[in-house]
Each structure stands twice: as structure tokens, then as C-alpha cells.
Structure 1
Amino acid sequence: MHAGLVEVAGRGRATMFMVVHAAVCVLLARMGAGRDVVVGTPVAGRSDPALEELVGFFVNTLVLRVDVSGDPSFAEVVERVRAADLAAYAHQDVPFERLVEELNPVRSLSRNPLFQVMLALQNVPEPQWNLPGAQVRSASMFAPAARFDLAITLTERRDEQGAPAGLTGDILYATDLFDEGTVQALARRLAGVLEQVAADPGLRLSDIDVLTDDERTRLTTGWNDTATEAPHVLVPESFAVAPDAVAVRCGRSALSYGELDERVDRLARYLVALGVGREVRVGLCLPRSVDMVVAELAVWRGVGPLFRWIRSIRWTVGVHGGRQWCAGGGGDR
């Protein structure tokens, strides 16, 4: 995957950070963040050569805003990200605090004023300390308190020849907003997005799958296990067993199975005479009533797709897309 992402970056004249940034934008957009995605990222703040050898903390925060509307391909998202990132880098010396002061957004102690997701990519080799008579290694630090809703940090690995050797990462999250399972699922989704776009950067945003395997199984097999007989099949069977039993009731109006079958059959024949059949759409504009049930069963019996609006207004017969569109009115007939 890492090698594929490097190739995507090369083709788009982008950096690895830009490719990762594009993947995060795609994931957030697909997860419901909208089409205007804003993230923050830290920069070293040493653009002036005079600061290169100076000891001190000069890190600044950039706000990166990317538009992913129009269902672009991932390669197109990389282009948009590249343009947005380069524009931000050109003004990286503007202090974040000055930007907040100038924009003057609505403030809240519960969130950052300009973005809620921080993204960082570490791709600088770990320094090697050679001290006489001592072995030195880096020590892990406990995660600090979360300053953002999510802080995503990825680390790019290279082998001794400089070839891609993988990406690792971690996510620091606000525990009052997310639990561990949710963030782990988000990490798996991000890994899935990176794998997909590395294999095919031409994928459209809408074609990039963000479901995990367990979620897909739950949707297609678990929650979708609703096989049952359709109402228009059950009604004739009930009519044969108990034709005088009440089939549908709404307020003071009621129909037995026999009456319901008769009215459904009469309306279905009328719809078929109008041309209703397979692939012909039928719109219903009816209040909740006995007539609504009759109309729905008649449409199903006439083998036409159903679109229903529950309104207490009238509708008219019209044409839509070159096919007959039959609509019923509420109230009296």
C-alpha cells in the first residue's frame, strides 16, 4: 500500500502528506462531515534560514480547507488538496492566534475555533545518538489530554535503501465525544481508504467504501434478513379463509377482506388500463386512510413501483421522464 501511495503522490506532483490529507478528507466527507472539510496541521515554523540552527519552539498551526464537492476522483481530490496546502504554506508565518483574532469566530471552551481534526505526518528519520559508553533509545510518552476532537498522527517508514516500508499511526481522541471502539473503527476505515486509493486513484469519492467487513455483513445479512410475503400475496389468502373479517380500519372506516380484495382488484385493473406495469412509476398523494391501503395494494397488484407521499392535498395525472405517472388525490373520490 505504501508504495502505491508514493506512486499516487508522484503522479500528482504531491507530497505524501498531501495524499494522506486527501484520504482523511475523503473519509471525513463519507462519514458525514460535509463537502467542505477543514483540518489543522502543525508546521515547524523555521522557514527563515536564520532560525535553522536556533534552539527553540517555533511550531505554528495551519488551517487547511478543502472542497470535495462534485464527486471527484481521488486523484482530483489530491489536486485540490495540493492547491490548498501550497496556499497555506505560503502564509505559514502568520500566527494561528492572529488568524483566529482576524476571523473572530464564535468561541467555545469545548472546541477549537477553526477546526476539530488535527493531522500530522512524521517522515523524518529518527535521530541516532552515539554517546561514548552509553546506549540511547527513545522512550514513549503518555498521551496528553486531547486538545481536538481527533488528532491523527501517521509515521512513514523507509528501509535502508529508502524504499517505502509502511505507514503506522495513532489517533488521540476526546473521550467525552468518542469511545475506543468508535475510534478503532475509524482507524480501520482510514486504512481501508488508503488501500483502495493506492490501488486505484481514479475511484470516485462515492465509490470509495468506508464500511468495515463486520458492518457490511450486518447490513446485508443481519439487518436485511427481512424476507416475508408481500401484502398483496397475503390478502387473497386471508380472503379465502375469512372474507368477512375486518382487514383494515381507519377511524370509522373499515373494510373486510372481501371488500378490500374487490376494491383493490377494481383499482388495479384501472391502473393497468392506464398502462401501469413493470418500471412504470405510480405516485400516491393520500392521507393515512383506508383508501391509502387500497391504493398501495392496487399498485403492487398492478406490478408498478410505488412512490408515496402522505399529504392531505390533491394531485393530478402527469407525465415524468417519458413514462406515465398516475397519482391519486386525498379526500373524496
Structure 2
Amino acid sequence: MSVTAQTGQRDGTDRRAGADDGREAIARRLITGSVKRSYEPIVDLDWDSAPVPGRYFLPPGALSLVGTELWNQMTVEQRIELSRQEMANILSVGIWFENLLNRTLLARLMSADPAAAATHYALTEMGDECRHMVMFGRAIEWSGARPYRMVLADRIVMTLLPHVLRGSLLWVAALIGEEIFDALQREMLEDPELQPLISRLMQVHVAEEARHIGFARDGIMRRKPIRGRWETFVAGHGHALAGVMLRRLFTNPAMYRRAGLDGRATARSARANPHFQDAQVRGFASLAAFLEEAGLMSRVARYGWRRGGFLR
């Protein structure tokens, strides 16, 4: 082997070692942050309180129909009921995504170093996600709504995904499931028309998701200088359909039917609503910029997010 080849090999090894050392330091810092600022939703939220009459379960400005002709024809009571159903739908989707993330991380931990700080933080994050799923389920129950179930096709996809999410694609998927929701929640949680318990739920979720988002972003950026062409191709193209899927989930016809509306017609109206599209774009803006910086926003992926209404 030539001196140049040997040097290149040593440089690659050094880069990997440096990335691993940095990852461990980030994991230890996040574990410390988790000890100092974590919540127990079962006791930190006032589940014995009743919903406040006249308050929304999602802010009216964040609802998918605001600004449409149908919205203008609805009474305040109908709008509040729509907010209850949209909240139950979004929290149900959140449960599905956090379930997916936990199952994927568990699969990876079968071959991970059990003594590594990164492994310990992954376990810590999974504990957070389990509490979030309980919190979301309790909030749906508290509101008087019912959870929304995945259709068969979605269940099949969610069952298969943990087997294919690896490397950078895993962290891209984690960010899609966390960062878009996080951005929208930050806009909502201080709204004076929002139910106090839902506002508190969002505060808890935003505080803990900030650590999860930081860990996922760090994982992507540390792999950027060492990932191969195939990993870059898969991670850059693998999220192409995510925008279309999220738009469909956010405008679930079932939630409109439960609110007393025509499910399919109302879903079409919501998807064409400029106000709803603006909210989608705002929610995705930070993640879109990050994926561009990381070199993981391919032309195909950009087209998919545009079709879903998350990019102009």
C-alpha cells in the first residue's frame, strides 16, 4: 500500500474517531440536560381539570379550514369541535411517529455498544417518547375525543420502516417526525384562546423535543464528511414522499366527518386552503434549510415536499 493510501486511511480513521468522540460528548451533555429538565406528564399536567368552555383545543388560526368559505359559515361551537378533532388527529399521528422512532432505535441498540453515552442517551430519549405517547393519549381522552387509527396501508409501512431506517436516513426520519410538529407547536402554545392543559402539553413537548432534535441534527452533520455516495443518495431521496404523506395525515377526512362535515370534500378544501399551506411551509422551513445544508435535499425530495405543499 502506498504512503498516500496509508495516510488517507489514517485520516479516515481519525475523522471517524473524532466524530465518535464528539458524539459521545454531545450525548453526555444531553443526558445531563435530561436529568435537569424532564417532565412526568402524569403528574405535571392537571388531568382533573375540565376543558374550559369557549376555548379551542388548537388555536383557531392553526386549523386547516381557517379562511375558507366553509369556515366563515361555521358557528363558534362548530369551530371548537373541529379544533378538538384536529387536535386528536395530530396527537394520534404524533403517537405513531414516536412509536416508529422507538422501535427503530431499539433495533439499532441490538448491535450498539451498551457502555457508550450515545446508547445511554438513545435509551433516555426513548423514555421521553414513551411519556409523550402516554401524554398524547391522556390528552385525547381528557378532551372527550377518540384517537384516530392508522389505515392498513399505513400500518404496513410503519411495520416495515424500522428495518430500512439506517445511518443518515434514520435521523432524517426522526427530524421529520419531530421538527415540523415542534415548529408549529412553538407558534401555538402561547395563544390566549387555547385550552390551558393543551398549552401546558405543548410546553412540555417543546422543551424535551429540543434535545431530540439536537441529537438527530448532530448525528446527520457528523456523518456528512464520512458518509458514502449510497448513504447520501438514500438519505437524500428517501424522504421524497414524506410531504405528501404528512399532508394527507394532517387533513384526515375522518376528523372532518367526526366534526359533522363532509369528509372528502372538506379535506380537498383544506388542502387547497392558502392559510393551511402557509402553516405547512412555516413548519417545514427550518428543517428544509437544514437538509439543504446537510446535502440531503435532492431534486426528487424537493419535488415531493413541493407536491405536499411544504415548499413553494
TM-score by length of 2: 0.20
- Structure of higher RCO (CA pairs closer than 8 Å, 6+ residues apart): 2
Structure with greater proportional strand content: 1
Structure index of larger Rg: 1
Structure with greater proportional helix content: 2
